[in-house]
Amino acid sequence: MDRSCHHASIDDLLGAIADDINAAVAQREVATKLAEKILCRVGAFSEEQLAHLDQLVKIGAALSAEKDIGHLFEMIVGEAQRYCNADGGTLYIYNDDGNALNFVIARNDTLGIRMGGTGDRITWPPVPLMDAAGKENHRNVSAYCALVGEAVNIADVYSAEGFDFHGTKEFDARTGYRSQSMLLVPLRDHEDEVVGVLQLLNAKDHLSDAVVPFPVADVERVTSLASQAAIALTKMRLLRELESLLMAFLQVIAHAIDEKSPYTSGHILRVAEITEKLVETINGSVEGRFASVHFDDEEADEIRMAAWMHDIGKITTPEHVIDKSTKLETIYDRIELIRCRVEILKRDAEIRRLRAALVEAGGKVPPEVPEHSVLDDHLAFLETVNVGGEFLSDASAERVKDLAGMKLTVGSREIPLLNDEEVVNLMIRRGTLNREELHLIRNHVEVTLSMLGRLPFPKKLARVPLYAGMHHEALNGRGYPKGLMGDKIPLAARMLAVADIFEALTAADRPYKLGKKMSEAMWILEKMVEEGHLDGDLCNLFVQSGLPVNYARKFLSPEQQNDFVWQGRHYVVVGPSAEEPQA
Ligand SMILES: [Fe+2]
Ligand SMILES: [Fe+2]
């Protein structure tokens, strides 16, 4: 080994160690200086300030977590009062027109006043921001604070100049209170817009409890608190506005679907109304299976929205299928074509007879055409079958087939009395819809599911597609589209099913039936419970709550309104005691 090389390596190593030590010392010095700086900064805050900061952070977190606007308003005033040890607090919020301040909360601990929020309702008139001449109302201190956007700190309102405090003095005279120190701060939201005013009254000394002016430091602190409150309030308003925009948008679509068909017009609207009443009825239920069920506001909103959305898939169902009122109807009723064909047959028969008469010696009255009465009878039969009011018997089906074989001549062509498509439709055994049309109608649920499935509903409305997509499921598994059974169908979907079927049963002007009388509709509903289609407990609650009786009185024609029997009990629809079921 080369010794000189060895020495050089040790020297290098020692040098490197020395460099590292120096660097570490230098870093330590930097760190120490930094720590001193931080300590110095922290020391600049008094303990009281740090406590206030801590409190402010906690209040901010609590405000942004609040979901109820009334509670939020109360919290803003309550926290501000506590923060400044103030005896009273009032919160004003801009009205919708932006030309006045509404009182939303008024608190006075000494007088025990708790108005607004969860307390008594406030009936005081709003504070106008403009006077009669259209000038800004700077005489009123809260209006001034909102208009100028600056805090106002008054040591004693009785000696304050520039503002009109006669209302405050009158209040004092009435109650024996003495309003003294007052602090007003504007509520500024994230866009620096003033949305309201927070007013605190009579700051109290922590030790003596005597009323003192609000300390200057409180102005900044309360301003910070007010801006936290304004942001929480704006956030809540924006969320509400978005929710109501979504609801309004979905209702517009529902109205459009209702409008699409004159026959089912108003169906969705009425189903939504019945469902909403069912939610209220279940929430008010004190005994039986539903006593333990309570839908909170968010769940109620979810069910309400599902009711509005349940038939949204009908937007793609062709109108002529929704409205198909006879078996031969497409865009128009093809019975007209058959009438024409029969007329041709009749004329042909007439021509044959006249020719025969001409061959014989003239002058005699021609005999009646024998084919006419037969053809008239065939046509009358086809017209009856076309209506689809009754189940088509085997004999009638055979006769339709036989008639299809009749031929007539149009120009040089020989055509059948009924073409294949007409035969398929006339052979429909029940109702007016053929297999493909039935599929198209039923497909509306699939379309509802796929449309709603594409909307990014917020978490609290996440079950809207599920409920809406199940409104044609039946507890016995014979529903569609999935054929779900029993427990697989949630209560909300069962409620929609009851509302949907009850509305459809009682609706007037359906294409293939007239509006049923209440007694008939309720009889069918009872049968559907017996067959295990609908939830029996739910239907019992529905009927016992008086909902169908009130519904009949509101929506059904006088001809449809009659008394009905449910589970052996007689319910009076026409008469003075509609609310009370009679035994
Ligand atoms: Fe439906
Ligand atoms: Fe429906």
pLDDT of residue 503: 94
* CB-CB contact of 110 with 87 (8 Å): yes
Q: Which ligand is nearest to the CA of 307?
A: 2
Q: Which ligand is nearest to the CA of 271?
A: 2
- Helices 394-404 and 370-387 pack at an angle, to 10 degrees, of 130
Q: Which ligand is nearest to the CA of 313?
A: 1
Distance of CA 354 to the CA centre of its chain: 71
Instruction: Kindly tell me the sign of the dihedral angle through the C-alpha atoms of 268, 270, 274, 277.
Output: positive
DSSP bridge pairs for 187: 196
Residue type, position 87, single letter: D
Half-sphere exposure of 265 (CA within 13 A, CB side): 6
Separation of 309 CA from ligand 2 center, angstroms?
9
Separation of 511 CA from ligand 2 center, angstroms?
15
pLDDT of residue 581: 46
Separation of 390 CA from ligand 2 center, angstroms?
24
Separation of 553 CA from ligand 1 center, angstroms?
24
Low-confidence ranges of the chain (pLDDT < 70): 1-11, 13-14, 17-18, 20-21, 23-28, 30-46, 48, 263-264, 361-370, 508-514, 576-583
- The CA distance from 512 to 410, in Å, is 33
Separation of 294 CA from ligand 1 center, angstroms?
26
Separation of 568 CA from ligand 2 center, angstroms?
29
Separation of 128 CA from ligand 1 center, angstroms?
50
Cα separation values, 359 from 177, 353, 362, 363, Å: 121, 10, 8, 12
Separation of 471 CA from ligand 2 center, angstroms?
8
Separation of 449 CA from ligand 2 center, angstroms?
14
Half-sphere exposure of 74 (CA within 13 A, CB side): 15
pLDDT of residue 365: 55
Separation of 315 CA from ligand 2 center, angstroms?
12
* CB-CB contact of 86 with 204 (8 Å): yes
Q: Which ligand is nearest to the CA of 442?
A: 1
* CB-CB contact of 103 with 116 (8 Å): yes
pLDDT of residue 332: 80
Separation of 68 CA from ligand 2 center, angstroms?
33
Model pTM score: 0.67
Nearest Cα residue to 491 out of 211, 294, 262, 251? 294
Separation of 477 CA from ligand 2 center, angstroms?
19
Separation of 353 CA from ligand 2 center, angstroms?
56
* CB-CB contact of 86 with 201 (8 Å): yes
Separation of 544 CA from ligand 1 center, angstroms?
25
* CB-CB contact of 116 with 74 (8 Å): yes
Separation of 296 CA from ligand 2 center, angstroms?
25
Separation of 405 CA from ligand 1 center, angstroms?
39
Half-sphere exposure of 523 (CA within 13 A, CB side): 8
Nearest Cα residue to 426 out of 391, 378, 382, 377? 382
Separation of 546 CA from ligand 2 center, angstroms?
22
Rg of the chain over CA atoms, in angstroms?
Answer: 40
DSSP class per residue in 483-506: --BGGGS-HHHHHHHHHHHHHHHH
Cα separation values, 518 from 14, 286, 399, Å: 105, 28, 37
Instruction: Kindly tell me the sign of the dihedral angle through the C-alpha atoms of 144, 146, 150, 153.
Output: positive
Separation of 321 CA from ligand 2 center, angstroms?
15
- The CA distance from 333 to 345, in Å, is 20
Domain 49-239 CATH (choose: 3.65.10.10, 1.10.260.40, 3.30.450.40, 3.40.190.10): 3.30.450.40
Question: Is CATH 1.10.3210.10 the classification given to domain 261-323+436-571?
Answer: yes
Distance of CA 537 to the CA centre of its chain: 26
- The CA distance from 79 to 55, in Å, is 9
537 Cβ contact partners less than 8 Å away, ≥ 6 residues apart: 288, 289, 290
- The CA distance from 91 to 381, in Å, is 77
Task: State the SS3 of 241-299.
Answer: HHHHHHHHHHHHHHHHHHHHCCCCCCHHHHHHHHHHHHHHHHHCCCCHHHCCCCCCHHH
Q: Which ligand is nearest to the CA of 443?
A: 1
Separation of 319 CA from ligand 2 center, angstroms?
15
Separation of 307 CA from ligand 2 center, angstroms?
9
- The CA distance from 511 to 508, in Å, is 9
Q: Which ligand is nearest to the CA of 499?
A: 2
Residues 282-305: tens digit of each pLDDT: 999 999 999 999 999 999 999 999
pLDDT of residue 558: 86
- The total number of residues shown for the chain amounts to 583
Separation of 265 CA from ligand 2 center, angstroms?
11
Separation of 500 CA from ligand 1 center, angstroms?
7
Q: Which DSSP category does 487 fall into? A: G
pLDDT of residue 468: 95
Q: Which ligand is nearest to the CA of 264?
A: 2
pLDDT of residue 44: 55
Separation of 165 CA from ligand 2 center, angstroms?
60
- The CA distance from 524 to 530, in Å, is 10
Separation of 562 CA from ligand 1 center, angstroms?
27
Separation of 311 CA from ligand 2 center, angstroms?
5
Separation of 500 CA from ligand 2 center, angstroms?
5
Domain-wise residue ranges, the chain: 49-239, 261-323+436-571, 335-360+367-432
- The CA distance from 316 to 252, in Å, is 16
Separation of 469 CA from ligand 1 center, angstroms?
9
- The CA distance from 124 to 454, in Å, is 47
Separation of 315 CA from ligand 1 center, angstroms?
11
Separation of 330 CA from ligand 1 center, angstroms?
21
* CB-CB contact of 345 with 408 (8 Å): yes
* CB-CB contact of 418 with 338 (8 Å): yes
